[in-house]
Structure 1
Amino acid sequence: MDDTPVTPEAAAAHAGKKARIKAARDRMMADKTGEKGLVIVLTGPGKGKSSSAFGMILRCIAHGMPCGVVQFIKGAMATGERELLVTHFGHLCRFHTMGEGFTWETQDLARDRAAAQAGWEMAKSLIRDPANRMVLLDEINIALRYDYLDVAEVAAFLRDEKPPMTHVVLTGRNAKPELLEIADLVTEMAVVKHPFRAGIKAQPGVEF
């Protein structure tokens, strides 16, 4: 930490700089008054997609907003987020785990497709309910990547049938271009470093 005393000149220069930044920020925010339900895509090879999405679900719960979660693919193992939401916030968050585990675990194409379709039907039901302010479709991008679901149908539903104020969050690697096209917000997680590459297994509290 720099312990150099702050001179009056430095303090004045700093205050002037921050005042200019604030004025520019205020001008930028002046016309940002609209609200709408967003289609949010969290994708990319890096860790943190579902973690970020569940953070938004918890924000909704903190605001008393009803929400829903449909987990595609995942399902074979218990997770902290499911335990927390089902045990403590079931009155605000409807949580449905529709997958049967990762594709290399099930090894059954027909079952994987059926599970994905059941998940999508549940997702549509939750999204159509205007009481839900946010619906998380966790790992749906994986189901779309393997063509367990029709991406054109999913994109058309989100574009044409989603209630105006409902947020829908879609997670998973390799999001298809059709989803990116209709999304309002897209974040791609990059890999810089991951402990798995150093032989560290997935751990509770970090990965699940």
Structure 2
Amino acid sequence: MTDETVPDTAADDARHASKMARKKAARDKIMAGKSGEKGLILVHTGTGKGKSSAGFGMILRCIAHQMPCAVVQFVKGAWDTGERRLLTSHFGDLCQFHAMGEGFTWETQDRARDIAAAEKGWEKAKELIRDPAIRMVLLDEINIALRYGYLDPAEVVAFLQAEKPPLTHVVLTGRNAPEALIEAADLVTEMTLVKHPFRSGIKGQPGVEF
């Protein structure tokens, strides 16, 4: 190997350090203008997996910060899920857990029953959101109830805008989030389906799906 082919490590390191210094200065300038705090409306939607998982990840963050929080499940209430086991058995002092749903609509096959369950869940959700001591409320799979018309999206949005305490975060999950909710939200994440084992004949498994 000749001298011409030997990498100039010192020069590369210097260029990298200079580039990162410029990036840090730009980032610090941006962050200097971000000083406000507010309770956020966060929506996790889309056809991809991970919407509820992301919501429960945020609930665990709240617990780690000793922030009181709550969960209302609009669909999976009949399921014995890992998150339900964990939160009710270990963190019941910080996180209220209300499983209000009775399964997916194709399982109950009873629209009136589904509507009643959704309305009951929404009443509990409003009670929890109104409590300023609760810093985050996860409304798991509420978007499904909105999509099927079990709840009125306009009513949900109006309540969040009018009655949510200023520092309370509300997370709403489920595919097909209505446009009114997306418009009102502070943060919207769309999970995109690229590949899923269900299409290859693999059923939902503990630790992955529930």
TM-score range, shorter chain: over 0.9
**Tell me, which stretches of 5 or more residues in structure 1 are unaligned?**
none
Cα pair 2:67 2:135 within 8 Å, conserved: yes
Q: In the TM superposition, what is the alpha-carbon distance from 1:5 to its structure 2 partner?
A: 6.2
Sort the Cα spacing of 1:5 and 1:204 in 2 relative to 1 into closer, same or farther, 3 A: farther
The residue aligned with 2:27 is 25
The residue aligned with 1:150 is 152
Equivalent in 102, 108, 111 of residue 109 of structure 1: 111
Counterparts of 1:100 and 1:45, CA distance in 2: 22
The residue identity in structure 2 corresponding to 1:131 is A
Cα pair 2:48 2:193 within 8 Å, conserved: yes
The residue aligned with 1:162 is 164
Equivalent in 70, 74, 88 of residue 72 of structure 1: 74
The residue identity in structure 2 corresponding to 1:149 is L
Sort the Cα spacing of 1:174 and 1:7 in 2 relative to 1 into closer, same or farther, 3 A: same
Q: Deviations over 1:93-142 (max 9, x none)?
A: 00000001110100001100000000000000000000000000000000
Q: Which secondary structure does the structure 2 equivalent of 1:75 belong to?
A: helix
Counterparts of 1:10 and 1:73, CA distance in 2: 54
CA RMSD of aligned residues (A): 1.0
Cα pair 2:78 2:99 within 8 Å, conserved: no
Counterparts of 1:99 and 1:18, CA distance in 2: 50
Sort the Cα spacing of 1:128 and 1:12 in 2 relative to 1 into closer, same or farther, 3 A: same
Counterparts of 2:36 and 2:47, CA distance in 1: 32
The residue aligned with 1:179 is 181
- Larger-Rg structure: 2
TM-score calculated relative to the size of structure 1 = 0.97
Could you tell which deviates more after superposition, 72-81 or 169-178? 72-81
Counterparts of 1:121 and 1:85, CA distance in 2: 21
**Tell me, which stretches of 5 or more residues in structure 2 are unaligned?**
1-5
Q: In the TM superposition, what is the alpha-carbon distance from 1:21 to its structure 2 partner?
A: 0.6
Counterparts of 1:5 and 1:67, CA distance in 2: 54
Q: Which secondary structure does the structure 2 equivalent of 1:152 belong to?
A: helix
Counterparts of 1:132 and 1:9, CA distance in 2: 53
Sort the Cα spacing of 1:101 and 1:6 in 2 relative to 1 into closer, same or farther, 3 A: farther
Which structure 2 residues correspond to residues 1-208 of structure 1 after superposition, within 5 A? 7-208=9-210
Q: Which secondary structure does the structure 2 equivalent of 1:96 belong to?
A: strand
The residue aligned with 2:3 is none
Runs of 4+ in 1 over 3 A off after TM superposition: none
Q: Which secondary structure does the structure 2 equivalent of 1:135 belong to?
A: strand
Cα pair 2:43 2:185 within 8 Å, conserved: yes
Q: Which secondary structure does the structure 1 equivalent of 2:146 belong to?
A: helix
TM-score calculated relative to the size of structure 2 = 0.96
The residue identity in structure 2 corresponding to 1:184 is D
Q: Deviations over 1:25-83 (max 9, x none)?
A: 11111101110000000000000000000000000000000000000011222000000
**Aligned-residue identity in percent:** 74
Q: In the TM superposition, what is the alpha-carbon distance from 1:6 to its structure 2 partner?
A: 5.8
